[in-house]
Chains A and B, each alone.
Chain A
């Protein structure tokens, strides 16, 4: 199976052109401060010289800076045009390595690369390119603006890719839905000694309960009612315990099944400290039955039961949902569960770390993981935008990533300081397209309120 690789990512909106990355690279690779010798090149828009870039810092606007850096291509043109075999992709790291002892300084690679990723270092007389400093790029940590990140999520894919996929191939999800990703990753991680409960919702709709008499999973799976998932799973788990068998009791439920009719059994199991891992895939509505609203649907959102347009519901401004969403994970905190966390598929490393802790906690008590899961079909956005929508939700504090244990309290796993305006999130999808300025103001107000509210939890936890 193919490997995934770590990469250096650049966010031009955050770059202010300070050039610290170029200084760090030049120092690491040449022992000088000469920006021209840096293998990462920040280029100021319309400004061509080193001094001009420094001047441009003054009036830096969004995307004022551009980047030239080797992308460590999967299909590297530099390698194909090198006549000397001096360039090659390292199968383990993905880095395109340059072998000085083979290079003949012909510069053909600089003609092959369309990204300015390999260039002549006029001082040494040889070409030079980014080698990601053996997986510890010198440029990334010195970027104080957060414009450079070293994305190492690939490690997860490489490790997990070798584990057994416990779902049947070919699940019937909507195009671009991230729930399949979540299901496969979660079950792989939890492993084969699992009993899985999937109440009505998108997860069985995709095929967890199977077709034509065979299950969609390679572990025992059952299809409880919306109302009794946690209760049934608790009973099953207790019976296994009685038989002396160590299995993980796992539920993957939708937000409807958990926050509405399923809530009494969920709350009961949490209160009794049943040993299970309850994962909620929150797509903010009953999406597989035709996109009806749930108590997790946010204010203002269009659903088929919170429509928009004139004359929708008596006396109401017919503009999507008129109530705010219930904060289910916070309710679970108030059950003092052994572990509660929120997660997002746009932050897989975080999700994995939380899964590990949740699995551990489920051995002795109730573990709850709430995953925000954008719905391409119901939220109305292009099917290639799922991760982007999920990321924007987090970057705007529309949802926040944190974890809680009774002893450590609540801890943010990603800073909630400096959020983007919530409109960056809202405009990414169609279900909010109709919003009036007042509604947007309401939502922005709620985001601020929510983040303050949760921050208070975390401060108290730290004795603040």
Chain B
């Protein structure tokens, strides 16, 4: 049986950061990367731009073969992990190959969650997670006249905008009563919704699809209120679920994702997990959560790599902070931190109707908990530090809300530059 010191499963952000961290500390230990995907590494986040045509698919790769050669990494695309035999430190791949490891990182990310709508398996639909998905969707969008997007999260909204711009009539169906919930509040969501409806899209929030069936156009959707919709293109973007099928019987503990400690170690010896598939410490919650965003994946991947290589410089994970940036119809929105405002917290907002600039900041005990802007640029990285460092901003709150860009930089330069 082939043996490798470090085995990394997955080839996206968490995996790539782990490779760097391992190589920073251990230049020679044998390192193997197996990934289900058939391509060189790329980011799922770039895919909406592949769909829109802004990114050329052959230019989205984050690493090339030369990188793996220089770093002495054996890179194996098209090699999915099928089962983990943690008791014997062995990984079993989809083609039956077995690989022995000393240390294993699970960075398998997520896949689209497919809602259990009756009839969903009788119609054809698109999802967006892999490059192949993106190429398929890109071609389908060019043909589409009437499209339906299920789910008004950021993935669905992005695709809906592409569809609108491609000239299709688009309906977005969202179960909850607000779009982009979790990242943006009602006011911001309203601004986003307005931009979409101004551009001709239809948004049905608080709507549930109860049945799907094939139709001459493509698919027919029936909503809970009895309305039906016809779609020649159906995109399912109702959320994600971590890829964990290979865990069965391995003994690795999981809940929504793989449970990890402050250095990304799982419940089983010699196995770490990072990124979207991991359920790690959360900055705003007493219990671990899956924080399925790119910056968390890189940070966790880095930590896991350091822990695996035995890098003494490792610092425990401070906990995931929700972060997002979003572009829509030439406008932008940034969200950093928790949008929840429990009792006792102080919420400062400002809204300028003329410029459409909206800003909201939430403070708890004089410390920043979250800051959200539409058309109002600020340095998200600085805000995130203010949150993680729990800096007392009692004296600077009003100034920060008045000019988050300048005041944030001032605080940064004074404190950690």
Contacts and interface: CB of A to CB of B under 8 A. Distances in A.
Contact of B381 (A44, A84, A105, A115): A115
A48 B201 CA distance: 39
B49 A111 contact: no
A119 B417 CA distance: 16
Interface string A92-112: 000000000110111110111
Contacts of B414: 45, 66
Contacts of B33: none
Contacts of B294: 81, 83, 108
A67 interface: yes
Contacts of B181: none
B315 interface: no
Contact of B45 (A46, A49, A108, A115): A108
A244 B230 CA distance: 98
Contacts of A135: none
B163 to A, nearest CB: 18
Contact of B327 (A102, A106, A122): A106
B410 A66 contact: yes
A375 to B, nearest CB: 30
B417 A67 contact: yes
Nearest to B61: A85
B334 A111 contact: yes
B349 to A, nearest CB: 18
Nearest to B407: A48
Contacts, number: 119
A80 B17 CA distance: 8
Interface in B317-359: 323, 325, 327, 330, 332, 334, 336
Contacts of B385: 114
Contact of B377 (A83, A104, A115, A119): A119
A48 B327 contact: no
A84 B60 contact: yes
A46 B398 CA distance: 12
A85 B417 contact: no
Contacts of B323: 111
A114 B407 CA distance: 14
Contact of B295 (A67, A81, A84, A101): A81
A177 interface: no
A119 B327 CA distance: 15
A81 B295 CA distance: 6
Interface string A288-303: 0000000000000000
B215 interface: no
A120 interface: yes
Interface string A46-73: 1011000000000000000011100000
A116 interface: yes
Given A84-B49, A106-B45, A119-B379, A111 B417 contact: no
A111 B380 contact: yes
Interface residues of A, number: 34
A46 B302 CA distance: 36
A48 B409 contact: no
Contacts of A112: 295, 298, 381
Given A43-B413, A104-B49, A111 B55 contact: no
Contact of B298 (A81, A110, A116): A81
B111 interface: no
Interface string B41-62: 0011110010000110001111
B65 interface: no
A434 interface: no
Interface in B29-47: 43-46
A interface SS class:
loop
Contacts of A241: none
Which of A81, A104, A105 neighbours the largest number of chain B CB atoms within 10 Å of its CB? A81
B179 to A, nearest CB: 19
Nearest to B396: A46
A114 B327 contact: no
B49 A114 contact: no
Given A77-B381, A113-B381, A116-B382, A104 B54 contact: yes
Nearest to A80: B298
Contacts of A84: 43, 46, 49, 55, 60
A115 B412 CA distance: 7
Contact of A114 (B17, B302, B330, B382): B382
B399 interface: yes
B61 A41 contact: no
B121 interface: no
B55 A102 contact: yes
A41 B382 CA distance: 14
Contacts of A104: 46, 49, 54-55
A39 to B, nearest CB: 13
A43 B60 contact: no
A48 B381 contact: no
B80 interface: no
A111 B403 contact: no
Nearest to B325: A107
A114 B412 contact: yes
Given A84-B49, A104-B49, A107-B325, A66 B409 contact: yes
Contacts of A67: 413, 417
B24 to A, nearest CB: 9
Given A102-B55, A120-B377, A122-B377, A111 B295 contact: yes
Nearest to A120: B377
Contact of A66 (B332, B334, B402, B417): B417
Contacts of B416: 114
A108 B413 contact: no
A106 B298 CA distance: 17
A107 B17 contact: no
B165 interface: no
A120 B45 contact: no
A49 B403 contact: yes
B206 to A, nearest CB: 29
A108 B55 contact: no
A439 to B, nearest CB: 35
B168 interface: no
A43 B411 CA distance: 10
A80 B327 CA distance: 20
B69 to A, nearest CB: 16
Nearest to A108: B325
B408 interface: yes
B390 interface: no
B214 to A, nearest CB: 35
A252 B298 CA distance: 50
B406 interface: yes
A429 B237 CA distance: 64
A68 B382 CA distance: 11
5 contacts: A41-B409, A45-B414, A84-B49, A106-B45, A119-B377
Given A106-B49, A108-B45, 17 more contacts: A41-B409, A44-B410, A66-B410, A66-B414, A67-B413, A68-B379, A68-B412, A80-B298, A83-B46, A83-B294, A108-B294, A108-B325, A110-B379, A115-B382, A116-B379, A116-B412, A122-B377
